[in-house]
Amino acid sequence: MDPIYWILNQLPKTEDQNLKVMAMSEVQKAKAFHESIPEYSETPLVALDNTAGFLGLGNIFVKDESYRFGLNAFKVLGGSFAIARYIAKKTNRDVSELDYYTLTSPKLREEFGQATFYTATDGNHGRGVAWAANKLGQKSVVLMPKGSSKTRLENILKENAIATIEEVNYDECVRMANAAALKAENGVMVQDTAWDGYEEIPSWIMQGYGTMALEADEQLVRKNENPPTHVFIQAGVGSLAGGVVGYFVNRYPKNPPTFIVVEATVADCLYRSIKANDGNIHIADGDMQTIMAGLACGEPNTISWDILRNHVSVFASLPDWVAARGMRILSAPIKGDSRIISGESGAAPFGLLSCIMQMDELKELKEALKLNETSNIINIHCSKVKHVYFYD
């Protein structure tokens, strides 16, 4: 089997200016907006008590996003909140004044007018943007990289979006979508990655993702559980990871969890950047063929990168079999635990956790992370399964 690579983060800290993006007050605004959407309901935080005991851990909680707004994916949280904040800014309001019913009112539509929201996606982010735009009476254009699922394309088209699969990789689709947005009348780029000069909308998307972390945190409190000791999270461009890490660091500033970020080996730009140890971003390129399609992104979000380099303890680069392993275990857990049908990208962090606890070659990593029967672990997120994989 292809190996798992991991590295301890030894980069010097920056001034941490981007941590304020995920301030509690901003995340609370995002959650309040999401709660105003008629389809909103809190997604489950599933306790895998028997699996945790089997692996020698205290608790494992999985934030199961397969129920989110009926779209089976968390990314709608980011796209919808970013569109709401954009409309709020253009109409000189705070987003806290614009709940779903106000945003869809004839009065506000007349005031704001019509915009076209452009994005690039493997599927879930684009579907979220298209869904939100459609709900709010706006337009959307979605570009997808080669190899994208036809089913995901069809799901986006159902939201009255213009959508195409291009013959280039994800990062090239981002550039194409941005160029088209700049040329279009009332065109707006809504992308879950950031670069120099394009930071505001990605920061809003990260805040939208914070709804998941805030929900999970509140669910732990209601279960009378202690705060998490470890958070395992996946990264493509890193927006989800930066949002979740940023939330928990702001929530528990004196005693934050230990954070572990995982990537697909073919798109491990964060791992490469930490390994280079020069403080710079190092990109991954090429076709990035992996079953973890949602992580096939080679250029990280610059806002998230700053948060992650300051607060993540371990970065791991994973071959496909680790994600497949995570999917299998979650779908057939230890007797007595709830079954979770997870997507490839969402299962990758859990796959790594199981490997750490069961494989001798990762003993050093287990010791470095101090994973034991006192560990209280959160894995965010799991999305709906696309395929089932079997590896020897």
- Give me the active site residues, please: 75, 122
Spell out where 240-351 has E strands.
258-264, 314-318
| Tokens read off for 269 | 């730009």
Pairwise CA distance, residues 254 & 314, whole Å: 20
Picking from 109, 102, 159, 94, the residue whose alpha carbon sits closest to that of residue 129 is 159
264 neighbors 348 (Cβ within 8 angstroms): yes
What burial class does residue 70 get, using C-beta atoms within 10 Å of its C-beta: 0-12 exposed, 13-18 middle, 19+ buried?
exposed
Nearest 5°: the CA angle 184, 190, 195 is: 100
Rounded (to 5) percent helix, strand, coil in the chain: 50, 15, 35
DSSP annotation of 118: E
Collapsed DSSP state (helix, strand, coil) of residue 276: helix
Q: Are strands 116-120 and 139-144 parallel, antiparallel or unpaired?
A: parallel
